Structure 1
Amino acid sequence: MNKGRSITVIVIISVFVLSSFLFFIPFATEGQPSVTSYHLSMPGEAMVTNAQGDPVLICGVIYYFNLTLSETVDNLSLNMTFTGNTSAQDHTVKYRFTYDSTGGFADPLYSKYIKLDLSTADDSFISFAIGTHGAAKKGNWDVEIISDGFVLDTYQWEFRQGNVGMSISSPTTLFVVAPMTPQTLSNDYSFFDVANTGNVPSQLTVTLDMFQSEMDITNTSSVFHVGDSRKCEVSFNAPSLLPQKQVFKGNVKARCPIFISGDMVNFIPEISLDFDVIVEVRRSNYSILDLGNAAIQYQRLLSLRYGDTLGTDIYVTGEGPVTIDIGHFNLKQPTIRIDGIGVVSNTNIELDLIEGEEVHITFNVQAGRTDTTAYLNYTTDTGQQTGTASTKIIVTGKPKITYTDAPGPSASLLAAIIILLVVAIGVGFVIFQYRQSAKMENMEHREKEK
């Protein structure tokens, strides 16, 4: 009996002590302000949550933490502590940001992880523009909202490492420019697609190894939000250019533009990706072989019917001595003219090129075989470089066969024979008539003698 009474007394005392303890915990009670809504996100971005529904904060960058309270408060404190930490006071595990209606916003622990010019308060709405050091511990953090010593709300946030991510598709940009003609070009092949695959917004910078001031690229100036993709079109304000082919690199660099402080740059490094740009200064429907001191424009593919003659040409520009050796396969010996003057019998052509001037070489060729593929080759030597360009010729058709009659008498001979036959028949008829008449006279004479 005494034992039962002792247990009852202990339980009563425990409940009394626990109730007294809970009474003195400074949580908001009826009549105190409360948090009606909150939002955590990077500038211009949506709030990100993890699988448990907890807000995610990327270390090293600016965040807006917006609070709407049930009423206006004179002061507010935002406390963030790495889960499990109770004693450390450095930027890896602990942060505290405050608002005071008379003194404004502050970072009393470090004085560097709040943007005073971006933080605002308006009646019951308070917006902290805050961030953390890039080395803050990654994982779960405990967050408290306190006003006048009372805890208005608590949360758990997940801190993560930031990374700038980017991908490029359609990476080759091609321009075909008419020689020595200023023009502005854009086409279906002059663009690249970029996607932000990181977890922070980025700012794009595009550089080119050549023609930087002559090329304009769209959609690179505005902030590139997380998850966005965009098409960057390239236009070329081409000056007057001599025939040439240039293959060079373009580079797209992405960096985070919202670091909470300048020394956070190293914690979220920028990323850069290359894409190819090709500029071919040549005639339409021609290809170009660029050897530095000489460039040859030529036709890559032609067709020829067997027995016909095909005309094709090349245009040579550059500066200094150049030798062009003309080779052919499945073709008869070509007829060659330079600038439309004379016929060149030698297939080894030597030129002394003058900068800004063009040499026009024409070829007339015939196929040596039927239903085959023929080639006209131009092997060019500048003394510094050697290269070969080829015109591929598809030969179709069969040899033409001409049918002729066997030799016979001419028309005049036939006429003479016919005349002779007519005369012979006439003479024969006269002789026949004469003989018949003579025979009749002879018979009449015999009758009279009887």
Structure 2
Amino acid sequence: MFLIGESREHPMHVAGLQLFEPPEGSGPDFIRDMYETISKNDDFQPTFRKHPARLLGGISNVAWAFDDDVDIDYHLRRSALPRPGRVRDLLELVSRLHGTLLDRHRPLWEASLVEGLADGRFAVYTKIHHSLLDGVSAQRLTIRSMSTDPDDHELRVPWTLGPKPRRDRGGSRSPLQSLTGAVGSVAALAPSTLSIARAALLEQQLTLPFRAPKTMFNVPIGGARRAAAQSWPLARFRAVKEAASGVTVNDVVLAMCAGALRAYLIEQDALPDTPLVAMVPVSLREQGEEDAGGNMVGTILCNLATDVNDPAKRLDAISTSMTDNKKVFADLPRTQALALSAFLVSGIALGLVPGFVSSAPPPFNIVISNVPGAREPLYWNGARLDGNYPLSIALDGQALNITMTNNGDNLDFGLVGCRRSVPHLQRLLMHLEDSLTDLERAVGI
């Protein structure tokens, strides 16, 4: 799906921007020495050797080919920022890198080591095609390449790290057993679909697609991107959660985003009368599958209550929406959960039909994703990880994406928008701060 849906206007890669503080006394050649050491890591795992194969007649996107001679000098780049080396200059570089397609004749990933920040820090920008990894497995690879020990100077890189061995809880399965198991799961879709329909249509628990209002984000987009990033202390979200009672940290995050979107749209004189709807990815991985690679992501549609002025009431409406939608998923086996998720996001595929985005209501307004990250400080070759900003995909009809991950004591936000369709993306960061402050006041902090 990610390969077939890709075009110049719709790059289908996910990325991460990491900011590092070099260790004390590292010297002026620290980055150059790192680059030279990293470039010698040429034991590439299969995921980092894959690119689409061309079969008879030039058919592509249906099978993988594996490159046995990966050109590390192409995939690993070293860059420097122009003076004065502001974070703004870094984000401008990342915006350009994020808007370019990966070369399908080579393995579908690139990494850039970026120096020249005025405060002495350096950055790493890595992107990989979404057909190879989802956000959870990409994040886990990033974390595994680092260490909690500041004195650990072993330079590990994601492309040499294979998946961790999985505990075999049910014994080995033959191909026939795997096939019959899959057939059984598919056969079970029929009764589960009936129960889903009953819950969705009779009990009104499920937020359904194509009920969202048309907004300035739900338009055809161009290929250029703009990126923005900022960190907030996790303690602030937890304090709101405790004061509000009955909500989750993720509910607070969604409410913060909802308030920011409301303020941004009011500023653009573009706030609709009915509430925005967010698509919220949820991991369907079981315990022990965090490092398995591939894609195992379900989706929930959440009412963001952007028509509500009161931040506390908005948070309550969002919490209720998430709770009700999760109830529908709670008892479904993973295959059925994936099938339901596919139905909820099916409108994205319709965006490939010429004229559909311009004429039809959007299936939802925005993707807001919270990817699990590191819970303690991390180091890479002794350099402390200051920021870990996930950067995702903008699509026709979905011109803005907000993704965040926890990084030690912080929650790091990465925003990606169509450069043409989402003006002044940087202002959303200011609105996010204001929205979190409003939530704190509303719950009495």
> Structure 1 length normalisation: TM-score?
0.19
Higher helix share: 2
Between 1 and 2, higher relative CO (CA 8 Å, sep ≥ 6) is seen in: 2
Higher strand share: 1
TM-score by length of 2: 0.20
